[in-house]
Amino acid sequence: MRLAHEFDQCLLELFDWADVDCADDRPGRAAALPQCVGSEARREQAECDRNQARSVVKCQRREEAEQKRQPEPEPGNAWPHAIPDELASSAVEPLDELLQQALLIASETGLVRDASIATSERQRAEFWKLRESVPAAQRQFGPSIKHDVSVPISQLPAFVREASARVTQLAPQDLLVCYGHVGDGSLHFNISHADDAANAAFLAREPELKRAIHELTMQYDGSISAEHGIGRLKVDELARYKSAQEMTLMRAIKQQLDPRGIMNPGKLFPR
């Protein structure tokens, strides 16, 4: 709870908003995307039609009327996920209307708790800044052990639940920051640490924590390198999770394309 609030503060310091209301005392709060939005954006959207669906970028407390008609979250899961989304089409389509209808259905079935649609380019930029500022907020918060993994989209909810429980068990004093690309099953599944006096001890556990998350990722038929490649840091992990036949084939392809070994030497395969 305290760590999640401190991470929110790191994120908010990256914004120019003068007044932000971020409820940090909700039970079971998880660190997906920080659950707050600027008061200026709230004032502008409050003037919109009350029937207009509101975006999941802002996850604040529901009104009592909404609480009565929507199912309560499971114990320990206080609706922790936020999804910024943007629609575009080359065809002439009423995207605003289609989005509102989709959000209304999702709200009535309990899939979406709260939503807000940007009504200006400025609001759109502010919504995306919440998502794009998470890495900078992590750096300001303290050192992190990061994972760039992916699993089949259908397995994403189950993986997040199980991996989150594993982090809670292995590093209960640290903060999980889980965010990424829902559309392709890619996650930045990071563990952040805020105790400066224990930074060295935390980073010394990196092999142990990475192995725990990577092993689970493979159980879900996923990948240990979703977006940023193998590089030098995951050379040993690649050899661990690929078969001898796969490694032989990859080396053969590399040899055909780069017989002199001058393209990214030391990456993907040891030198």
pLDDT in tens, 164-180: 999 999 999 999 999 88
Cβ proximity of 150 and 184 under 8 Å:
yes
- Give me the half-sphere count of Cα atoms (radius 13 Å) on the Cβ side of residue 198: 9
Percentage of the chain modeled with pLDDT above 90: 32
Task: Name the pTM for this structure.
Answer: 0.66
pLDDT in tens, 80-96: 678 888 888 888 888 88
Phi, psi of 37 (to 5 degrees): -150, 155
- Pairing type for strands 37-38 and 20-21 reads antiparallel
Q: Which band of pLDDT confidence, cut at 50, 70 and 90, is reported for residue 4?
A: low
Of the candidates 260, 205, 270, which has an alpha carbon nearest to the alpha carbon of residue 237? 270
Task: Name the helix (H) or strand (E) containing 37.
Answer: strand 37-38
